[in-house]
Amino acid sequence: MPGKNTPQPAPRFPSTSDLSGRRIGPEELEAVTRVLGSGALCRTVGTEAAGLEEEFARMIGSAHAVASSSGTAALHLAVFAVGLEAGDEVIVPPITDFGTVAGILAQNGIPVFADVDPVSGCLTAETVVAAITPRTRAVIAVHLFGGAAPVREIIDAVRPSGIVVIEDCAQAYLTVPDGGDAYAGTIGDIGCFSLQQSKHITAGDGGLTITDDAALARRMTLFADKGWPRDTGERTHLFPGLNYRMTELQAAVTRAQLPKLAGVVADRRRSATKAISALADLPGLHLPTQPDRHGFWMLPLVLVPGVLNIGCRDFAAALAERGVPAIGGYLDMPLHLTPAVRDRAPFGAEGPPFSVPPASREIAYREGDAPLAEDMVARTLLVIVWNENYIDEHVEHIVQAVRAVHDGALAVADGTAVRT
């Protein structure tokens, strides 16, 4: 018989990398068969992508939706639509995927990294305001792990300066920010979603961008199709665009996934709420406080240094030994310290956009630029992979594992140093 401190055998956890963690069934198979049977696999000759745009806009509560080939493409459409010019600055958080800044760099813009709230990992109105310069054109507020950034506060803070607010909702389907009942993505000027393999719903890859502004929607539609105004019957190109078209196969699979989204999010909330309730008494852990508004792409736990004598990476490793899918720090390093950003690699260290007049200051990316984000990634941020197909057995195993690691990591009264 195992002792009381012996880790219990882990159940097999559903994974979004295979069918165990996805809700893919006969509806998706029928959708693919329908498209293949039609012979129309490109959106320029089919009807699936246009149908998806109408259905998603209606479901999320937006006037317009534009389908694209990936979540990164969706963000690039948004950045292009706001008219970013060479040397313009866009404020972003350091804890996010590279896709958040890829479009900025591609448009010869400059990502400016503002620090984050040390519990949510999201931008705040205060950190955004501190990063504004005369060249600031937009803010991309990332709703991290399914938790909402304070997007209304950010809008109120930047609107007098005419700054556009883009919401990155790649991890935040049906997330509801504070201050109302509107979904994330519908509050700012533009919202961007991802259909990549690990997201709440998936077509393998794909993106959706929403807005209430018809002019922005048209610019995004044209940019995704090489600037070609097909609706006018002309074979011309109004501006340089890219081929970011979503295929009809992607669109058909997404249309089959869309009716399942509410159930996916509801089941993630149900199981995450149970885990949060079971862990709420543990000192030294910050847990999501409004699970009914959270999308739970992942379940974040933020450690309190000085209360626990363990860092996030050791905590995650200890959970992994117990079979729990956990990641310490989420990223290897904050985005501003990755080589692609830090070295200004896309354009060369001496070239545009960093040297575009009237560049009145040197733009460089250094350790210490965002100390709160850097500390989260290095020491305090822990995420547990979450899934709609978790059952009580999975939740109970996670809870037992977290409690076991936590109990062994409580700092002694004289203040044991925290290991990372």
Percent of the chain exceeding pLDDT 70 equals 92
**Band of the pLDDT at 351, cuts 50, 70, 90?**
low
Q: Is the pLDDT score of 419 beyond 60?
A: no
Q: Does 242 reside within a domain?
A: yes
Please, which residues have CB within 8 angstroms of residue 56's CB and are 6 or more apart in sequence? 65, 67, 208, 210, 254, 258
Who has greater pLDDT, 349 or 330? 330
Counts of helices then strands in the chain (DSSP H, E) = 13, 11
pLDDT band at residue 345, thresholds of 50, 70 and 90? low
Lowest mean pLDDT among 46-50, 187-191, 347-351: 347-351
pLDDT at 349: 58
For the stretch 370-380, pLDDT in tens is 999 999 999 99
- Give the pLDDT band (50/70/90) at residue 413: very low
pLDDT of 319 > 60? The answer is yes
- Is residue 327, in this structure, part of any structural domain at all? no
Measured CA angle at 216 (ends 213, 217), to 5 deg: 85
**Cα 110 to chain center, whole Å?**
20
What is the pLDDT at residue 346? 60
Q: What is the CATH number of the domain that holds 80?
A: 3.40.640.10
Residue-wise burial string across 18-34, b where 16 or more C-beta atoms lie within 10 A, e elsewhere: eeebbbeeebbeebeee
pLDDT at 418 over 60: no
In a domain, 204, yes or no: yes
State the average pLDDT over residues 357-384.
Answer: 90
Which range marks the domain in which residue 249 is found?
A: 26-260
Decide if pLDDT at 154 tops 70: yes
Q: How far apart are CA 309 and CA 410, in angstroms?
A: 6
For residues 310 and 308, give the distance between their C-alpha atoms in angstroms, rounded to a whole number. Answer: 6
**Roughly how many angstroms between the first and final C-alpha of the chain, as a whole number?**
34
What is the rounded average pLDDT of the residues 62-68? 98
CB 97 within 8 A of CB 111: no
Q: What is the pLDDT of residue 411?
A: 60
Report yes or no on 402 lying in a domain: no
Q: How many CB atoms lie within 10 A of CB 357?
A: 8
**Residue 103 domain flag:** yes
Active site residue 199: yes
The per-residue pLDDT of the chain, averaged, comes to 93
> Residue 322 has which token pair?
């117990």
- How confident is the model at residue 414, as a pLDDT? 40
Q: In whole angstroms, what is the distance from residue 290 CA to residue 146 CA? A: 11
Cβ-proximal residues to 10 (8 Å cutoff; 6+ apart), any chain? 322, 323, 324, 397
Calculate mean pLDDT across residues 280-292.
96
Separation between Cα atoms, residue 84 and residue 182, nearest integer Å: 27
Task: For residues 393-411, give the mean pLDDT.
Answer: 94
In-domain check, residue 266 = no
User: Number of structural domains, the chain?
Assistant: 1
Q: Length of the chain, please?
A: 420
* Percent of the residues in the chain that have a pLDDT greater than 90, as a whole number: 87
Q: How does pLDDT run across 235-271, given as a tens digit for each residue?
A: 999 999 999 999 999 999 999 999 999 999 999 999 9
Q: Using an 8 Å Cβ cutoff, are 288 and 294 in contact?
A: yes
Q: How far apart are the C-alpha atoms of 191 and 19, rounded to whole Å? A: 28
Alpha helices in 123-260 (DSSP H): 125-131, 151-158, 214-223, 248-257
State the Cα–Cα distance between residues 141 and 303, nearest whole angstrom.
23
Quote the DSSP letter at residue 216: H
Contact present, 155 and 166 (Cβ < 8 Å): no
- Rounded to two decimals, what is the model's pTM? 0.94
Over the stretch 96-153, which tens digit does the pLDDT of each residue have? 999 999 999 999 999 999 999 999 999 999 999 999 999 999 999 999 999 999 999 9
**Catalytic residue chosen out of the listed positions 4, 199, 260, 274:** 199
| Per-residue confidence (pLDDT) for residue 412, from 0 to 100 | 46
- Residue 409 resides in a domain: no
Residue 338 lies in a domain: no
The pLDDT-based confidence of 386 (bands split at 50, 70, 90) is very high
Assess contact for 370 and 116: CB atoms under 8 A. Answer: yes
